[in-house]
């Protein structure tokens, strides 16, 4: 039998209301749907035109129909609106959908309409469990009430006996009152102690923050002071290697090369510490501009190619032209160099390092460095962005580094309104993804 529909006082929705990310429909005081948007139609599995003219109760579960009659209608007619009501609606395929509903009653052409905005609740089980607990509590309360009624009826039959019992209960209540007063005093004492502990914790927090500031200041000063003699060591080693102070033998030249290599490594570590200290002290400044991702990658790859060639690695850059981010050019270059350097360190010879970029949405761009290296164990993946953390922390590890590169890179990314994320599987390589605001 075809479904009968009541006369419809329908009205058209504008494009904005139809494209809302939440459901919308309007029905008159007789319960006839006069308008519905595409979001609601998709949520319930109907075409939008199929909803207009239907009785609103055909879109509800049994519980939803009861709730409509006993709560929604009375509330809207009394107050003119209803807010954040949980309602179960029936899909076309028979399934049900939990929604949070806001409704308001309006007059159109002399007729009353109830306009409803609905947001699908995906964690419906939470609300159903709450309703179940409430129902169980109500049943328990009713059972307790019935039991109390029977007790009162029995009590009326033995008034004289109960008088003695009440006197005994009064005595017990007096004892309980005294006990409660003692507990109250004890709770007051505990509360005073908690307040005192809270003040101590606040003072300890202030001391810790001051100590952290002092640590950052100390690191900044010491890093600056250490760089001066290190630069001098590197300069004098170069002068000796050039023969300024006399001829240099092959053995001496090899020793000078090892001195220079150690000097550069130590200088990199100190620069990392200095950068971290600046970030923690909040003294790092950003210069934002519109930067094309393709230009950034092309400017960084030549710096890494000698390392890749020495490690016998293949590089691939797949970055579409015209993709632009709003960021600090030098900071993004520093992040990419850190990520590419790490990929070279942990990728065996013959492997591949790829750089890709793509739009995540209309507001963000994702730049990824993907390697075919040794990967990172799952229990260590969450800690790779912590300062001074090495995936291989043993004394026999084969790679150099302070464990600050990723920590600094993530702080720089977040300072530009983005983030740095990692995905990896041991033996299957790693992917480090830099998320940046789109220009």
For every residue of 107-140, DSSP letters joined together read EETTEEEEEEEEEE-S-HHHHHHHHHHHHHHHHH
- What is the number of alpha carbons within 13 Å of residue 42 lying toward its C-beta? 11
Q: Which of 209-218, 235-244, 319-328, 396-405 has the highest mean pLDDT?
A: 319-328
Same domain, 348 and 265: no
Residue 8: inside a domain: no
> Using one digit for the tens of pLDDT, what is the confidence trace for 153-198?
887 788 888 889 888 898 888 889 888 888 988 898 898 899 889 8
Q: Which domain holds residue 62?
A: 15-122
1: confidence class by pLDDT, cuts 50, 70, 90? very low
> Using one digit for the tens of pLDDT, what is the confidence trace for 31-88?
999 999 999 999 999 998 899 999 999 999 998 899 889 988 899 988 999 998 888 8
> Using one digit for the tens of pLDDT, what is the confidence trace for 393-425?
443 345 454 567 788 888 888 989 999 999 888
Flag whether pLDDT at 364 surpasses 90.
yes
Residue 132: inside a domain: no
438: confidence class by pLDDT, cuts 50, 70, 90? very high
Q: What integer pLDDT is reported at residue 264 of this predicted model?
A: 66
pLDDT mean over 296-325 = 88
Where are any strands of DSSP class E within 240-337? 289-292, 314-318, 324-327
Q: Of 36, 19, 37, which Cα lies nearest the Cα of 27?
A: 36
Domain boundary residue, one of 284, 310, 331: 284
Same domain, 274 and 296: no
pLDDT mean over 111-121 = 91
Flag whether pLDDT at 259 surpasses 90.
no
Q: What integer pLDDT is reported at residue 302 of this predicted model?
A: 86
Q: What does the alpha-carbon distance between residue 100 and residue 177 come to, in Å, rounded to a whole number? A: 46
Residue 364: inside a domain: yes
Question: Could you tell me which residue, 127 or 77, shows the higher pLDDT?
Answer: 77
> Using one digit for the tens of pLDDT, what is the confidence trace for 18-35?
888 999 999 998 899 999
Q: What integer pLDDT is reported at residue 393 of this predicted model?
A: 42
Q: What does the alpha-carbon distance between residue 16 and residue 39 come to, in Å, rounded to a whole number? A: 12
Q: Of 431, 433, 435, 439, which Cα lies nearest the Cα of 417?
A: 435
Same domain, 336 and 398: yes
Residue 1: inside a domain: no
Question: Could you tell me which residue, 160 or 291, shows the higher pLDDT?
Answer: 291
How large is the C-alpha radius of gyration of the chain? 36
Question: Could you tell me which residue, 112 or 223, shows the higher pLDDT?
Answer: 112
Please tell me the total count of domains within the chain. 3
Q: What are phi and psi of 432, to 5 degrees?
A: -110, 125
Q: What integer pLDDT is reported at residue 102 of this predicted model?
A: 94
What CATH number does the domain containing 59 carry?
Answer: 3.30.450.20
Q: What integer pLDDT is reported at residue 289 of this predicted model?
A: 93
pLDDT mean over 275-297 = 78
Strands 314-318 and 352-359: parallel
Same domain, 199 and 240: yes
Q: What integer pLDDT is reported at residue 38 of this predicted model?
A: 92
Residue 138: inside a domain: no
Domain boundary residue, one of 229, 260, 284: 284
Same domain, 278 and 293: no
3-state secondary structure of 186: helix
Residue 146: inside a domain: no
236: exposed, middle or buried (C-beta count within 10 Å: 0-12, 13-18, 19+)? Answer: middle
Domain boundary residue, one of 100, 122, 144: 122
Determine what percent of the chain is predicted with pLDDT higher than 90.
Answer: 28
Length of the chain: 439
Q: Of 29, 34, 42, 28, which Cα lies nearest the Cα of 13?
A: 34
pLDDT mean over 342-368 = 91
Q: What are phi and psi of 380, to 5 degrees?
A: -110, -5
Same domain, 212 and 190: yes
Same domain, 56 and 37: yes
Q: What integer pLDDT is reported at residue 2 of this predicted model?
A: 46
Q: What integer pLDDT is reported at residue 411 of this predicted model?
A: 87
Residue 7: inside a domain: no
Q: What does the alpha-carbon distance between residue 363 and residue 340 come to, in Å, rounded to a whole number? A: 25
Identify the helix (H) or strand (E) that includes residue 437: strand 430-437
Same domain, 45 and 179: no
Determine what percent of the chain is predicted with pLDDT higher than 70.
Answer: 82
Residue 313: inside a domain: yes
Q: What integer pLDDT is reported at residue 428 of this predicted model?
A: 85
Same domain, 76 and 115: yes
Q: What integer pLDDT is reported at residue 131 of this predicted model?
A: 65
The H-assigned helical ranges of 38-158 are 38-44, 48-51, 62-67, 73-79, 124-157
Q: Which of 180-194, 278-292, 369-383, 399-413 has the highest mean pLDDT?
A: 180-194
Cβ-contact 364, 438 below 8 angstroms: yes
Q: What integer pLDDT is reported at residue 157 of this predicted model?
A: 83
Kindly list the distances between the CA atom of residue 1 and the CA atoms of 4, 390, 437, in Å, as whole numbers in the listed order: 9, 72, 57
- The per-residue pLDDT of the chain, averaged, comes to 83
Same domain, 293 and 428: yes
Flag whether pLDDT at 3 surpasses 80.
no
């Amino acid at each position: 039998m075809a479904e009968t529909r009541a006369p419809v006082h329908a009205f058209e929705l504008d494009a904005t209301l139809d494209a809302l990310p939440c459901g919308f429909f309007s029905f008159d005081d007789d319960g006839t749907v006069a308008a519905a948007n595409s979001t609601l139609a998709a949520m319930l599995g109907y075409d939008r035109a199929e909803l207009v003219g239907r009785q609103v109760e055909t879109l509800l579960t049994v519980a939803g129909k009861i709730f409509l009659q006993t709560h929604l209608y009375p509330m809207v007619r009394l107050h003119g609106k209803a807010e954040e009501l949980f309602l179960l609606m029936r899909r076309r395929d028979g399934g049900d959908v939990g929604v949070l509903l806001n409704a308001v009653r309006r007059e159109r052409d002399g007729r009353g309409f109830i306009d409803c905005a609905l947001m699908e609740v995906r964690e419906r089980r939470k609300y159903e469990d709450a309703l179940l607990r409430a129902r169980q509590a109500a049943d328990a309360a009713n059972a307790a009430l019935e039991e109390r009624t029977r007790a009162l009826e029995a009590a009326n039959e033995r008034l004289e006996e109960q008088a003695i019992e009440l006197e005994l209960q009064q005595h017990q209540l007096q004892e309980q009152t005294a006990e409660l007063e003692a507990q109250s005093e004890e709770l007051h004492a505990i509360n005073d102690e908690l307040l005192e502990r809270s003040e101590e914790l606040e003072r300890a927090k202030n001391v810790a923050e001051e100590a952290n500031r002092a640590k950052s200041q100390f690191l900044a000063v010491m890093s600056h002071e250490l760089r001066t003699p290190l630069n001098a060591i590197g300069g004098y080693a170069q002068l000796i290697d050039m023969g300024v102070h006399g001829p240099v033998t092959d053995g001496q030249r090899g020793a000078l090369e090892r001195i220079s290599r150690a000097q550069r490594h130590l200088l990199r570590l100190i620069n990392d510490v200095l950068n971290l200290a600046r970030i923690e002290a909040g003294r790092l400044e950003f210069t934002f501009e519109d930067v094309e991702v393709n230009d950034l990658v092309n400017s960084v790859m030549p710096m890494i190619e000698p390392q890749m060639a020495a490690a016998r690695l293949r590089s691939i850059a797949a970055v579409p032209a015209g993709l632009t981010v709003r960021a600090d050019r030098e900071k993004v270059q520093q992040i990419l160099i850190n990520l590419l350097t790490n990929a070279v360190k942990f990728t065996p010879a013959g492997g591949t390092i790829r750089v890709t970029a793509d739009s995540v949405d209309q507001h963000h761009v994702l730049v990824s460095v993907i390697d075919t290296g040794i990967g990172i164990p799952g229990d260590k993946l969450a800690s790779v962005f912590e300062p001074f953390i090495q995936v291989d922390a043993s004394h026999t590890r084969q790679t150099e580094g302070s464990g600050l590169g990723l920590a600094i890179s993530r702080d720089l990314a977040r300072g530009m309104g983005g983030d740095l994320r990692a995905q990896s599987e041991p033996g299957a390589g790693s992917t480090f993804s830099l998320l940046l605001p789109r220009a």
